[in-house]
Amino acid sequence: MSNLMPVGYDLRLGSSLDRARLVQFMQRTYQEMDASDSYAHLAQTVDQYLSRETPLWWVVLTSEPGADTLSNLGLKRSQQPIACLWLGTAIDQLHGDRHAHIFLLYVLPEHRRKGLGRALMLEAEAWAAARGDRQIGLQVFQSNHAALSLYNTLGFQVQSVWMVKPLR
């Protein structure tokens, strides 16, 4: 695992012990789009898919950019994650090839636009390439313009459209 994080941030490998924190990050993601739901059901997704085969990484703040680092002062900064990347495996339905799938990429609002999302996406690509995958996939909501812009600049292209119809 390379560390492509911007200065002041560090990447840490998570584990299944981080289940509760992962659920919280997933809930925050969806609540930003629609705060009217608790999204408690997302715990079922985590329970179903979080395993040793679905790597989870956390980004922690190691220092304030431009300030004296706490480590230089002999102090340890809180290791509360400020961003998350959770990967899994999918099968390309056209060709049958296994490929990496991004379950979750989330950066706390106060740490956005600092290069963390891009760095996490590059980490995901490196992980996928290292295991021999030829592509990486993700799902993004059409209304998430910031994420769409990031993914477009990284070379992602629309392959399919997921459509839903509410049933009454």
Q: Which of 108, 85, 116 is nearest to 31 (CA)?
A: 108
Amino acid type, 59: V
Measure the CA–CA gap between 39 and 27, rounded to whole angstroms.
6
pLDDT tens digit at each of 168 positions of the chain: 557 899 999 999 999 999 999 999 999 999 998 898 889 999 999 999 999 999 999 999 987 554 444 444 443 455 899 999 999 999 988 889 999 999 999 999 999 999 999 999 999 999 999 999 999 999 998 899 999 999 999 999 998 888 888 899
Across the beta sheet with 136-138, the strand order is: 9-13, 56-61, 81-91, 98-107, 136-138
**What is the predicted pLDDT for the residue at 73?**
40
Got the DSSP string for 72-134?
A: GGT------EEEEEEEEEEE-TTT--EEEEEEEEEE-GGGTTSSHHHHHHHHHHHHHHHTT-S
For the chain, domains (ranges, CATH) are: 9-153 (3.40.630.30)
pTM value?
0.85
Helix (H, G, I), strand (E, B) or coil at 105: strand
**What is the predicted pLDDT for the residue at 105?**
97
- Please work out, in degrees rounded to the nearest 5, the angle formed at the alpha carbon of residue 71 by the alpha carbons of 106 and 109: 20
In degrees rounded to 5, what are phi and psi of residue 90? -135, 170
Q: What is the CA radius of gyration of the chain?
A: 17
